[in-house]
Amino acid sequence: MGKDKALLELAGKRLIVRAVELARQITSELAIVGDAVKFAPYGPVVSDVFPGCGPLGGIHAALMASICDFNLVVPVDTPFLNAPLLNYVAQQARSSGAMVTVPSTGRHLHPLCAVYRKEFAGVAEKALRSGNYKIDALFDQVQVRVISEEELRKNHLPASLFRNVNTPEEWRQAERECAPG
């Protein structure tokens, strides 16, 4: 996109604000992983322990800083996520006890809209230290509860909730969908 997506405004609200407000509907314990100077106005910030290692580095940093066993990860660039979806994922995580609870649509896992047990930090750290940054490549090493698209649909949670904004065209489409009237 050429810009920090977190600071883009959609329907009058920055994406970071949307993500923080959504997460606060699920939990009072919240941390933003990123640059403290940039994100401190929006909530408590945690810095990457392994900078430049992508989303796995962010998940690791969040888990290391967390005091909770179950940790919901919410991406900033997926503005159509909603509280019913996140509550469902969190409920499934608690009932399954899996180390990772992750939704799947089509053939795609959504590891940035998932619940991670705190102990996943050790698995992530080992991978990060060895230069492996792909999140779902670690899932064969731990117990994972995959929430299928069919299960989501049965619970009135459509796959369209996972649409993200990575390109200018996706951004324009999101703006059109969120436009008033």
Share above pLDDT 90 across residues of the chain, in percent, rounded to a whole number: 94
User: Residue holding tokens 């941390």?
Assistant: 31
User: Which H helix or E strand runs over 56?
Assistant: helix 54-65
Q: Domain 5-178's class?
A: alpha beta
Q: pLDDT-derived band of residue 161, with 50, 70 and 90 as boundaries?
A: very high
Cα–chain center distance at 45: 15
Mean pLDDT of the chain: 95
6-53 pLDDT, tens per residue?
Answer: 999 999 999 999 999 999 999 999 999 999 999 999 999 999 999 999
79-93 pLDDT, tens per residue?
Answer: 999 999 999 999 999
User: Residue holding tokens 């179950």?
Assistant: 70
Judge contact between 22 and 86, C-beta under 8 A: yes
Identity of the amino acid at 169? E
Gap between the Cα atoms of 66 and 157, Å rounded:
28
Judge contact between 114 and 75, C-beta under 8 A: no
95-144 pLDDT, tens per residue?
Answer: 999 999 999 999 999 999 999 999 999 999 999 999 999 999 999 999 99
Phi, psi (rounded to 5 degrees) for 165: -120, 95
1 versus 153: the higher-pLDDT residue is: 153
Residue 114: exposure state from Cβ atoms within 10 A (0-12, 13-18, ≥19): buried
Pairing of strands 13-14, 9-10: antiparallel
Residue 1 pLDDT > 70: no
Pairing of strands 144-147, 100-105: parallel
Judge contact between 163 and 170, C-beta under 8 A: yes
Provide the residue ranges of all domains of the chain, joining segments of one domain with +: 5-178
Q: What is the pLDDT of residue 12?
A: 93
Q: pLDDT-derived band of residue 179, with 50, 70 and 90 as boundaries?
A: confident
Judge contact between 113 and 78, C-beta under 8 A: yes
Residue 181 pLDDT > 70: no
Q: Is 78 left (phi over 0), alpha (psi -120 to 50) or beta?
A: beta
Q: What is the pLDDT of residue 115?
A: 98
